[in-house]
Structure 1
Amino acid sequence: MASANILMENESQHILPKILPKLVIFDLDYTLWPFWADTLYDLNYKSDGKGGIIGSRSSDKKKLYKDTRELLEILSKAKIPIAAASRTDDPPMAKNLLKLFDIDKYFSYKEIYPGCKVDHFKQFHKYSQFPYKEMLFFDDEERNIQDVSLLGVTCVHVDRGITKREFLDGLNLFSRKENKK
């Protein structure tokens, strides 16, 4: 079980729990960014140099949710592998967005294709060799939470994108479940 002494700033300082997952998985659309990748039709997105991207029209700007980059960095510093699980109908666009937002470097595993999220998790298990009970998953769709939780994965529903609070709550939920064993 991994341990980290990384501080998070929120209303006050928080220390990550001592018992951490071996793999943290994030959905992409409406979990890390506030839009669906498969609804973007402008193939000319470029980095805006400020952490966002801009389309061919200057009014077409997209950003990550406010806490996304910081949370990925926290996991990276704690040496916890990160995975992306997305059911998008446009996998090339989702993969391109990871690169454009300069967050692709954080993801050790990517399962980005249409279908049931359970299939994504079977692949994560196969390639990482981590048991499902050692995984923590964040997603905005309740159906994905219900399906994946049946595998034994600790799942957290995020209503309007990942926040520091939801992230820490998810880590604490995982830690409490592991402490009971």
Structure 2
Amino acid sequence: MKLFVFDLDFTIWNAGGTWCDSTHPPFAWKEGKLKDQENRWIYLYPEVKEILSELKAEGHMIAIASRTNAPTIAKQLLHMFEIDHFFDAREIYPGSKLTHFDRIMKELKVAKNDIVFFDDEYRNVEDIRSIGIESVLVTNGLTKDLVKPYLTRTIARDLPQSEAC
């Protein structure tokens, strides 16, 4: 895959058991944990930074498709977690994931068969699958095990037929 697209809430991070638009900024680091004003702990899933770093190091593009009602909060969290620089495209606003993907594909000039999407909501996964994009349901946060099959697929697809397994 050339482009990896990720949802935010419950895929990249857990906003204290809720969505980021239900948190109460300003946020602050307290004893190594990012907290909102209600002392809600907002955290990245453990393997996220490593996944994003590896994808970038291998030359993949990365995008966000998030239907949050609080884009400013989401962007602030991306910055506070120091991961905002990994993303080549950011579609962060309420509305349809189909619109997000239309804009991402146009901006990055990537075909549907070169994209994989990760989201915790089944309806989003199904919407994006319906337009022919590989989609993965994330049940307990993004992990290397979820991403790994798509890295292997890229290598095999790019090899000449005589070398592919």
State TM-score, norm by structure 2. 0.85
Residue aligned with 2:148, SS: helix
Look up the match of 2:78. Answer: 98
RMSD value, Cα: 2.2
1:45 aligns with 2:30: no
Q: Equivalent residues in 2 for 1:26-41 (5 A)? A: 26-35=6-15, 36-41=19-24
Question: Which whole-Å CA distance do the structure 1 matches of 2:37 and 2:43 have between them?
Answer: 15
Look up the match of 1:113. Answer: 93
The Cα offsets for residues 54-104 of structure 1, whole Å up to 9 and x where unpaired, read as 3346x4322100111110001111121110110011111111110011100
The one-letter amino acid of 2:7's match is D
Question: Which whole-Å CA distance do the structure 1 matches of 2:112 and 2:84 have between them?
Answer: 23
Asked if the contact 2:7–2:65 (Cα under 8 Å) also holds between the matched residues in 1, the reply is yes
The Cα offsets for residues 116-152 of structure 1, whole Å up to 9 and x where unpaired, read as 1011000011101111111111111111111111222
The Cα offsets for residues 15-63 of structure 1, whole Å up to 9 and x where unpaired, read as xxxxxx111100000000123111102x22134585x423346x43221
Question: Which whole-Å CA distance do the structure 1 matches of 2:31 and 2:147 have between them?
Answer: 26
Question: Which whole-Å CA distance do the structure 1 matches of 2:156 and 2:31 have between them?
Answer: 40
Question: Which whole-Å CA distance do the structure 1 matches of 2:63 and 2:34 have between them?
Answer: 22
TM-aligned CA distance change 1:44 to 1:138, over 3 Å: same
The one-letter amino acid of 1:129's match is K
TM-aligned CA distance change 1:142 to 1:170, over 3 Å: farther
Q: Equivalent residues in 2 for 1:16-31 (5 A)? A: 21-31=1-11
Aligned length: 157
The one-letter amino acid of 2:143's match is T
Identity of paired residues, percent? 34
Asked if the contact 2:23–2:36 (Cα under 8 Å) also holds between the matched residues in 1, the reply is no
